[in-house]
Amino acid sequence: MERLSTLGAWREYAGSQRAAGRRVGLVPTMGALHAGHSSLFEAAKQNGDVVLATIFVNPRQFNDVGDLNAYPRTPQLDHHTAEQHGVDCLVEPTLAEMWPDYPAPTSTTVSVRGISDTLEGAGRPGHFDGVASVVAKLFAVTGPCRAYFGEKDFQQIVVVRQMVRDLALDVEVVSCPIVRDGDGLALSSRNLLLSPPARTRGLALSRALRDVQSSRGPASAQRARMRQILEESDIDVAYAEVVDPVTLVPTVDDEVGERRALLAGIIDGVRLIDNAAVFVEAGRT
């Protein structure tokens, strides 16, 4: 596995792979790698791509400096995980390389309006501007590629797809299924911040999603049921929503068909998110 840290070397590596007739598979991460990330590396490898993974904890997508400082960092384990799961090139750019003027605000910001302002965006102002800006930079340095994202961050995928479409970027966005622990908890780097009792409470997120997947019913009933299950586990509910999977527009009760249920809850200061495809039916409770 090759390891790089500068934008110039990264750009040259990706360009040389394309010149040799290979497709670059980009897997952006913020480190603290787990089996969910490994599944992205393996998906890129199975598609025949040269796997280029990045690790960069992007300060521009954190609206709380305490959250940024607490974000888990496991560099030695990350290197081992990347190498064991097929990464050909691991890029770990420095903060100075990515945002030379930081902590001063960066003059250029990519903002995907509308779909960035709801759900996670409503609770974390500026978050998706930071995400879109850093992902746009990753794409600019990498060049034409496939980019792999996990569906746990479903809204992020919707934002990135819209940005790619609007800017006509030569990037194919590939979404990969959520990877869960045996008990159902969606894998997340933030899980490392949970105490054992908090982790047990966090299982309510996947339990709520399974409940509405099996019960169906109108969107309002699904929202109420998910919120009830989270509150019964003493989780501070940020949102429990059912939306159109492309536009993220909330579903109304006379609509029928497949939608996306998205949850966010805060447990002892740790924010967890989860989501699943659900089917809504009008007039059924």
Could you report the per-residue pLDDT of 69-110, keeping only the tens digit for each? 999 999 999 999 999 999 999 999 999 999 999 999 999 999
pLDDT at 215: 87
Residue pair 13/89 in contact (Cβ under 8 Å)? The answer is yes
Residue pair 176/25 in contact (Cβ under 8 Å)? The answer is no
**β 270-280/257-267 pair status:** antiparallel
Separation of alpha carbons 171 and 23, rounded Å: 11
Distances (CA, A) of 163 to 94, 116, 172, 272: 25, 11, 12, 25
**β 171-176/236-243 pair status:** unpaired
Separation of alpha carbons 235 and 233, rounded Å: 6
Residue pair 164/48 in contact (Cβ under 8 Å)? The answer is no
pLDDT at 156: 98
pLDDT at 285: 44
pLDDT at 35: 97
On the question of a cis peptide bond just before residue 103, with omega within 30 degrees of 0, the verdict is yes
pLDDT at 282: 80
Closest among 96, 95, 89 to 3, alpha carbons compared: 89
Counting as low any pLDDT under 70, the low residues of the chain are 283-285
Asked about 80 being catalytic, the answer comes back as no
pLDDT at 235: 98
Q: What angle do CA 18, 160, 219 make, to 5 degrees?
A: 145
Closest among 11, 50, 40, 21 to 138, alpha carbons compared: 11
Q: Which of 37, 79, 80, 85 is catalytic?
A: 37
* Domains contained in the chain, CATH given: 2-176 (3.40.50.620), 189-276 (3.30.1300.10)
Residue reference for tokens 């792999």 = 148
